[in-house]
Amino acid sequence: MSKLLITKKINARPFVYRYRELYCDDVRLVGLAGEYGTPLYVYSAGQIRERFQMFQQAFAGEPHTICYSVKANSSLAILRLLSRMGAGFDIVSGGELERVRKASKAALKRVVFSGVGKQEWEIDAALQAGILIFNVESEAELHLLAARAEALKVRARFALRVNPDVFAETHPYISTGLREHKFGIDIKAARRIYRSASRYQWLDAAGVSVHIGSQIRDVAPFAAALERVAALIGELRSDGLDIRYVDAGGGLGIEYKDGVFDAAGEVARYAGALRGAARLMKTHMLLEPGRFIVAQAGGLLTRVLYVKQNGAKTFVVTDAGMNDLIRPSLYQAHHEVLPVQQARSGASSKLVDVVGPVCESGDFFARDRSFTSVKSGDLVLLLDAGAYGMSLSSNYNTRTRPAEVLVEGDEHQLIRRRERLSDLFATERLPRSSKK
C-alpha cells in the first residue's frame, strides 16, 4: 500500500486513515461492519506479533519465557497465534488452563498458574497437564497443593508469590503489591514458609514470584520489587533450596490517550530495569505481559444509534454498551474514540458524551469529549480495546456479546461469532409447576 494513501497514522496502533476512511492494517472497517455487524471487536495479528517480539528481543541472551497473561484477552485464536511464537501462558483459573489446552497442548508445559483462590479440581487439572510452575499465594494453598501432588504422585514445582510492599502508581483496583492487598504472601514470612515446605516429598520449591500491579508506566517499582526478591533468593539458597525461576509478573502499561508512545523504548527500559537483578539471581526469568501485547492491537467498532440533546449536553448513543467494554465505567479509563469516516479539515466539533444503550448512568465511553459531528448510522471506533474488553464483557440487560475478527494484512477471519439470544437461554431451565 503506497504511503501516499495514508493521511493519518494513529500513533503506535494498527489503525490508519486512508482516503479519510479508517482501516485496521489493510482492511476497511466499513467492510468489516457490513459483513459482521456491530458492535465488533477487531484485532491486528501483525501488531500482536510485533509486541511479543519486542519482549523477546529485549530479553535476548537472558534465560526467559514470555508468559502471556490469558486474562487480558483469552481468544483461542490469539492464544494459538502466540503459542506458535513460543509463548508461555500465565493463567488464573482452570477455565483458562482449558483454553490453553484447546489452543496448543504443547504450550501446557509453559503455563504458570497464578491466582489467590485455586480450587482442588483446578490444581488437579494443572498437575495432570504438567504445567511449568504454580504461583502459591497462601500457606493454606501450599498445603492443598502438597496433598494433591501426593495423591496424584506428581511432583509440583512452585513459587511463593511474595508481596514486596512496593507502591506502583496505578488505579487502586489493579494495584497488587502492597500489604493491604489480597495477593501474595508477606515477603518477611516467605523464608519460614519455604523452610516448612521442605517436609513435603512431592513439592519442589523451584522459584519466587512477584507482581505489583497493572498499567504501570514507571519502571522503577519493578526494579525495586526485584531487588527485594533477589535478597530473599540469597537467603533461600543459603538454606539449600534450588531456586531456578523468578516470575517478575507483568504490568507494563500503555498510552491510552492520543500521545507519543514509543512501545519498543518502553520495553527496552523495562528490560533494563530487570536485567541487573536477573543476572544477580542467575535464574530463568518468567515475564507475564498481557495488556502491552494486545491492548493497542484491538478496537471496538460500534455504530451510532442516535444523537440527542438534553439541555446543554449532547449524547452520542452507540450500539455498544458497558457490557461490551466496561473499562470506562469500572476504572474511569480513557479510550480514544474516532469516527470511521474522517472529518474534513476545518470541520466543526463539539463536546459530547459517547454512551451506550445499557440502563445505567454509568454506561459511558467518553464524557465531555471534543468530537466532530456524527449522525445516526455512522461508525466510530474505540481504540485500545484489545485487553480487558471482550474478556470482561457480560450479558447484562440480556445483551448478546460482540463478534471478534482477526486481521492479517489485507485479510481477515471471524474468530468468534456474535452471540445469539438462544445462546443466552441455553443453560436456563424453567421450574416445573407445583401442584397445590
| C-alpha distance across the termini of the chain, in Å | 74
Distance CA 122, CA 237 (A): 30
Give the three-class secondary structure for 184: coil
Give the three-class secondary structure for 314: strand
Distance CA 87, CA 98 (A): 16
Instruction: Specify whether 24 is catalytic.
Output: no
Containing H/E element for 291?
helix 291-294
Cell numbers given for 250: 507483568
Distance CA 20, CA 32 (A): 16
Tracing cell 439470544 back to the chain, one arrives at: 421
What is the C-alpha radius of gyration for the chain, rounded to an integer number of angstroms?
Answer: 23
Give the three-class secondary structure for 197: helix
What b-and-e string marks burial along 74-91, b requiring 16 or more CB atoms within 10 Å of the CB? bbebbbebbbeeebbbbb
Distance CA 213, CA 163 (A): 11
Q: What is the DSSP string of 343-369?
A: PPTT--EEEEEEE-SSSSTT-EEEEEE
What b-and-e string marks burial along 350-385, b requiring 16 or more CB atoms within 10 Å of the CB? eebbbbbbbeeeebbbbeebebbebeeebbbbbbbb
Burial (Cβ within 10 Å: 0-12, 13-18, ≥19) of residue 161: buried
Select which of 359, 422, 427, 434 is catalytic: 359
SS3 content of the chain, % helix, strand, coil (to 5): 35, 25, 40
391 CA to centre of own chain: 8
What b-and-e string marks burial along 186-197, b requiring 16 or more CB atoms within 10 Å of the CB? ebeebbebbeeb
Active site residues: 359
